[in-house]
Amino acid sequence: MDENSPLKMTRRQVLIAGGASAAATVLPGAVVLAAQTTAPAPATAPVLVDVTLAVNGSRHTLALDTRTTLLDALRERLHLTGTKKGCDHGQCGACTVIVEGRRLNSCLTLAVMHDGERITTIEGLGTPQRLHPLQAAFVKHDGYQCGYCTPGQICSAVAVLEEIRNGIPSHVTEDLTAAPPLSAAEVRERMSGNLCRCGAYSNILDAIDDVAGGLT
């Protein structure tokens, strides 16, 4: 066979031709699969419901998407930005508020779940002219540095002291048949869900100790 014949191919040319043929066979299917997996999900219209929140002594009726968290309702709809959005996963405690007397992470609960309930945020505890005792104690004992976690810390501390007064045990309460002691160990355990990246924990404990009247 003439070496110039189109039928005479080198090994390299054979491999290139085989690869191109395989790609031509597979590529159309891959393109279709990619298009199917990257296509945006069809848009769904939000479901709006009327929710009444009794926040800091005032009632507010809002038309909310059922997926709206309590945190977003407070910050974005009621403009109560003292409640902070930190991790948005319930891990830092910066969004702590008091609902019906009990503290919770507002980023982990939906606003529609609290229709008609009493909610207290940091704005409802005190004002610059008339601070809540714990707010004043945090200032006195430098219980903050950057201050981002402070609203959640104070709301949590208010609820912690109430929990102890009401005899609610914690993981470090030794005698579950008796009222938990007002101790530093109890306070540290109960406040452990509120993180302070600046590390002001000892000052926070001092502030709580001041308001509690002395921790054992």
The per-residue DSSP string of 167-214 comes to: T---TT-S-TTSPPP--HHHHHHHTTTS--TT--HHHHHHHHHHHHT-
Output the 3-class SS for 90-138.
Answer: CCCCCCEEEECCEEEEHHHCEHHHHCCCEEECHHHHCCCCCCCHHHHHH
Quote the CA–CA distance of 154 and 149 in Å, as a whole number.
Answer: 9
Closest alpha carbon to 96 in 146, 141, 160: 160
Give the confidence band of 136 by pLDDT, cuts at 50, 70, 90. very high
Element housing 62 (H / E): strand 58-65
CA quadruple 151, 155, 161, 164: dihedral sign:
negative
CA quadruple 171, 175, 177, 183: dihedral sign:
negative
Give the mean model confidence (pLDDT) for residues 23-46.
61
End-to-end CA separation in angstroms for the chain: 103
How large a percentage of the chain has pLDDT more than 90?
75
Give the mean model confidence (pLDDT) for residues 18-44.
60
Closest alpha carbon to 53 in 61, 64, 45: 61
CB atoms inside a 10 Å sphere around CB 42: 5
pTM: 0.78
Give the confidence band of 3 by pLDDT, cuts at 50, 70, 90. low
Closest alpha carbon to 62 in 72, 75, 71, 49: 49
Give the confidence band of 52 by pLDDT, cuts at 50, 70, 90. very high
Spatial neighbors of 57 by CB under 8 A, at least 6 apart, are 124
Give the confidence band of 25 by pLDDT, cuts at 50, 70, 90. low
At residue 201, what is the residue type? Y
Task: Please determine, for residue 45, whether its predicted confidence score (pLDDT) is greater than 60.
Answer: yes
Region of residue 126 (phi > 0: left; psi between -120 and 50: alpha; otherwise: beta): beta
Give the confidence band of 22 by pLDDT, cuts at 50, 70, 90. low
Give the mean model confidence (pLDDT) for residues 188-216.
95
pLDDT score for 102: 95
Which tens digits make up the pLDDT trace of 68-124? 999 999 999 999 999 999 999 999 999 999 999 999 999 999 999 999 999 999 999
At residue 171, what is the residue type? H
3-state secondary structure of 53: strand
Which tens digits make up the pLDDT trace of 160-193? 999 999 999 999 999 998 999 999 999 999 999 9
